[in-house]
Every structure is written in C-alpha cells, then in structure tokens.
Structure 1
Amino acid sequence: MKEKWLVVSNCQTAGLGNCLSLLCPQVDIDTCDIWRFRSERSEWLSRIADYRHLIFNPELQEMGLLDSIPLDNVTFVPGFDFRGFHPDLAYVTREGVVIKSAMDDYHSLIVATAYRRGLTPDSAKQLFAASTYQKLGYFSIWESEKKMLVDRFSAHGLDVRAEFVKWMREGGFMHSKNHPKIGAIYDVASKVARKLQGDAVVEAGIRPHDNLVVAPIFPIYPEIAERYGVRTGSYFFKGFDSYRPFHLDEFIASSYDVYSGYPVEELEVHSPHYEKAMNLAWEQI
C-alpha cells in the first residue's frame, strides 16, 4: 500500500500538491487548504494518523490549528509572499470587510489614494509613471522583499537563494504578491520531496498546470519590469476566471465605480506605502 502525505497550505495548496505528486509518484498526496482545514478541523484530526508525512504551511501553527497534533512528522513549507514586482498592489476594506474590485481582493494603491484625494480617473492614470513609483518608495523595497522571502524559507530548512537567481533569469515569477507561478512552486516542492524521499524522487521534466493562472493576475508595470530586467511589463490586468485582459483605463474606471458605492471616508486602504501616498503633493507629480 502506498504511503500517504497530506498537504495543507493557502491558495498555493493545489500547486504544491500536484508538484509533489509528480515528484513522488509512489506516494498518494491529499490536499486541503487552510480555510477548509479550519472549518473541518475535527474531521482532519481524526485522519491525521493515516499520513506518513504532513506538509503544512507554518500559518497553521500560528493560527493555533496544530495544537494537540504531534509535530514529529510535520514538514513546514511557507507560502510565497513577495511584493518586489507588485508594490502598488493594495487591499481596500470597509469596517474590516474586504471590498471586491475587478481584480477580486486586489486594488491599486495609486488608484485608491487618487480617489480618496478627489482626483479624476484621467489624473489618476497620469500618476502611473516612474516618478510616482520613486516617490512612493516602490523602487526601494526589492532587497528587503528578497531577504524576507529567502529568510522565510530558510527558517524551515529550505534554501532558495540559488532558485531565486534562476527565477529571475526566467522572468517575473509571481502572478501577484501572494500567487507564485508554478515553476517557483515546483522548485520548492522538489526540495521538500528530496528532503523526505531522497533518491526515490522522480524528475521527469514534467510540470503541472499553473492553477493560479485562473485567479487575478496583477501586471508588473513596465517601469518596474525594466528596472529588474523582466520582459513582460505591461498595464494589462486579468480578473478571476476570465482570460480577457483589460487595460489600466478600464481598471481605474471600474475601481472608481466600486468606490463610489461607499462613503469615501470609510474606505480603508491597506499598503505599507499608504501614509506616504496620502502625504504626497499629488498635483506636483
């Protein structure tokens, strides 16, 4: 009988599980995302003993969901979170509830701040330029973001320093700040597989489909792409479950339409750059 492994992570769960299935065909891989695990915790705890290895996102432990679970066969694998390519990506809430945009949970700090400051959509569009990004600090976060990503994996015995160089040579490796492309997930899965299976790992040169492509894809703005040597810079956004990209103009218009349904003072913008954005003399940019 094949041994069984359980993978529990965030939105990267399916990709990680599929990669491990390809690398370890002698193992049955079950997957469950954090939100389902939390809602069905008692049921999953009753089945934990069935699994030879548990591949868990450390967020589970931080959330207290692993209390009472022996950790001797747990391998912690953190999720990707990297803002280097997408410093403008922000979240907007009202009374703690996320406001949905054409990009689902994702918003643009520049657009949201421009709306709060009373700028027109045309004026907001003019802010998408290198001079704005420089003043907001978008160009100064790369090294700290890289260090946080590398350190996050290193803390759990996964050294991705060489892989980071490889990912950069292959182009932008993130669809958004928290959605990596499947190649990056595969490289991390390969390290986990070799840690648990050694020479039994099968490297067939096959990659699973990139399931996160169906989710919103936030563009790498051309000025940011040029700075980091990425060839795929654009102002085309892609929403959920649709393969029709839409341009910055449409994104700004739809965002303004969404925001108009709320009292402007109740729009809460979440971004490390928000305070700086609100304090800028936008009309001088």
Structure 2
Amino acid sequence: MLTQVDRQILKSWRQYAIEPKIAKFTGRVMRNTGPRIALVGNCQSFGVAYAMKVLDPSATVDHFSMIARARSTMGLFAKTLETYDYVFSHDFLDGHVRGGGSEELRQRLPKTIIFPAIGFAAFHPDLVYIHDPTRLHGFVAGPIGAYHSAIGLFAYRKGLSLEMANALFNENVFDALGYLDMWNDASRELLDAARDRYGVDLSAELMNWSRRGVFMYSTVHPMSFVLFDLSKKLFEKVGLKPRAVNFNYYDIHDLARSEIFPIYPPIAKRYGAQGGYMFKLQNHHISTTVGDFLNLPQFLASCYKSYSAHDLSKLSNARVDAWLADEATSGLLMRLARENFVAGLMPTL
C-alpha cells in the first residue's frame, strides 16, 4: 500500500515533468509560476506548508509526511526533492524512507534546510508518552492516542482506585510536582533548541504567541498561527519575501482534528486562561462526524482499561518511574490522594 510520501512523489514528477508539457501543447496558462517548495516532516509540516502557500500563492508547495513507512528509497526521494527550489525538513529517523533519515537526506541534498518542530510543555506538563519497543518509533496507545497522563499512569501502577486517581487532579498535587512553574523552562528549551540547532530565533514570536493566550493543543501540536510565524521565519532564512496577509482569514486548524489534551484549571489560571478536564479524541473525518470527548473520570477509566491489556513492565515512562522509585515523592502523592478524596475534591469537567 502506498503511503502519502509515495503518492506525493508520483504527483511531484507529474507536476514537474508532465504537466508543463501538456500545458505548452494545449496553451493552458500554468497557475503556479513561483518557486517550487517541498516540506518534509511530522504532523506539524502540513501547517507549515499551508502557511507557505498563503505567503506565496504562486508557489508550488508540496508536503511529504514522515509518519508512515514509505516504499520509496532515499535515492528516489532525494532525486525527487532535487527538482524543488527549496527543501525544508524536520529531523526524521531511519525507517520512514528506505535508506536513511533526515541526516542522509541532507548529505545527498545539501540545500535541505532542517527546521525545528515546535514543542512547549508549560500548558500540558502532565502529558507523557509510553514507548512501545515493538513498533518503529511507536508508542503505547491509550484513549486519546499516544497522549497519557503521568499522574494517571502513576495511579494505575500504584494500584489506586479510579476514585483515588481522580483525587490526584488537584492544585496541591500540581504544585507539589512543579506543574505550575514550567513556563521558564519550557520557553528556554524551545528558544535554545531553535536557535542553537536550527539557527532560528523565535524569541519575538514566543512573546507574541504568549500574548494571544494558549497557543498549543498539546506539548507537540501548536496552533496554526504559530506555524504561520515559523513559515515566515523560514522564508526569510532562504531569502524569500513573505507577503503581508491576514492569516486569520485563511486559517486552517489542521492539528485540531487530532487529539487535544486539556489545560488543567489550576494551570490555566496561572496563565490567565480558561481550563478544564475535557479530553478530545482524534477525528480526521470531521466532514462525516463531529467526534467525541471524555471528561476526567471517563478518561481515567479508559486509561485503566487500556493499561490492563499490558504487562506492567511495558508501561514504563521515565518520569513516572522516577516518582515510583522515590519514596518521598510516591508517599506525598499517596497522602494527597487520600486527603483530597476525603475532602471530596473530585474534579470532573
């Protein structure tokens, strides 16, 4: 079965080698007369590609999604991308294309610009992943895909009831775990990585994003205006002039179709935003169904059910492992769970 990358390679050669000849023969005026731009990367790359098309409607902007295993080889992939004027790529590991990852691509095609993926944990400090060693760069799936709650996973591994697990979702627990004070570290991590590894200064952009309020759907899924600003920086990096445009008017919230992790109310309050405990399930077929959501008790119950299908040794996460190994942290969380439960502190929405 062909992946998106395989299909896009075929489409690219048709656009590059066949359609101009047909247009010349038929007299049809080509619409896209600007630069050819290729975007290679993870789930954020479509948003960057779309923003670049908005910035230059005359450009041919093609998106190559590095998520599934492609049948195509790195040789064919690099040869295809060579036909583009500009190639931008996220870091990606071996296995998505046969024969190498982003480092191999850059060696074969030096004009490739590696650009940062946006990650920011301050709004969603409880979000963690459980790695699945049996799958290529894969993770254990829960009720909302790869996103898990560190607190919920801790509760399950300690054998707490669902009610006691629910009682852990309170401000005193978040404060004890440092969840309320992650802004500076998250900002530093984002800015340092973008600047030092990719040569992109996002300091002014981060300030503007924070003024707009919440700008992430999860730790790894930024809102589309974030990707628009990143696209402008990439245009400037290669000497392309981004045109002035009201992006809000043409905005597509592509990543909102995926899972959305809530911003817990005490954390949201810290940043002057509205929070809640509503977990959104992915819905990539929004034209046919409105999708579904889980409140906190439903989410925890679904997590417990999915975890029960795995051996405890397969439910490892470095942060949760550290909590469990540290008697002081583990004891504190257990005490707070009991106290909150007795006090009736059982958030739901």
Query: What TM-score, normalized to structure 1?
Result: 0.90
For 2:104 and 2:80, the matched residues in 1 are separated by 15
For 2:80 and 2:238, the matched residues in 1 are separated by 21
**1:174 pairs with 2:206:** no
The one-letter code sitting in structure 2 at the alignment partner of 1:69 is R
Aligned to 1:26: 58
Residue by residue over 1:5-50, the C-alpha shift from the partner in whole angstroms, topping out at 9 and shown as x without a partner, is 1111111011010000000222111110223586523321121221
Q: Which runs of 5+ in 2 are unaligned?
A: 1-32, 94-99, 284-289, 337-349
Is contact 2:154-2:320 (8 Å) kept?
no
Q: Which has the higher contact order (CA 8 A, sep 6+)?
A: 1
**1:64 pairs with 2:103:** yes
**1:284 pairs with 2:317:** no
Q: What displacement does 1:148 show?
A: 1.0
Is contact 1:8-1:57 (8 Å) kept?
yes
* From 244, 269, 272, the counterpart of 2:316: 269
What fraction of aligned residue pairs are identical, expressed as a percent?
27
**1:46 pairs with 2:79:** yes
The one-letter code sitting in structure 2 at the alignment partner of 1:109 is A
For 1:211 and 1:137, the matched residues in 2 are separated by 31
Aligned to 2:294: 246
Aligned to 1:83: 121
Q: How many residues align?
A: 281
SS in 1 for 2:193: helix
Larger CA deviation: 137-146 vs 254-263: 137-146
For 2:133 and 2:238, the matched residues in 1 are separated by 44
Residue by residue over 1:117-161, the C-alpha shift from the partner in whole angstroms, topping out at 9 and shown as x without a partner, is 010000000000111112222234321211110112213232111
Q: What displacement does 1:232 show?
A: 2.8
Aligned to 1:132: 173
Aligned to 1:219: 262
Q: What displacement does 1:84 show?
A: 1.2
For 1:129 and 1:96, the matched residues in 2 are separated by 35
Larger Rg: 2
Q: What displacement does 1:174 show?
A: 0.7
The one-letter code sitting in structure 1 at the alignment partner of 2:55 is L
Q: Which runs of 5+ in 1 are unaligned?
A: none
For 1:202 and 1:67, the matched residues in 2 are separated by 28
For the structure 1 residues 67 and 3, does the alpha-carbon distance in structure 2 shift closer, same or farther, using more than 3 Å as the test? closer
Q: What displacement does 1:91 show?
A: 1.7
Aligned to 2:41: 9
Is contact 1:38-1:65 (8 Å) kept?
no
Residue by residue over 1:198-225, the C-alpha shift from the partner in whole angstroms, topping out at 9 and shown as x without a partner, is 44x2222134301111100001111111
SS in 2 for 1:272: helix
Larger CA deviation: 269-278 vs 231-240: 269-278
For 1:266 and 1:4, the matched residues in 2 are separated by 48
Aligned to 1:210: 253
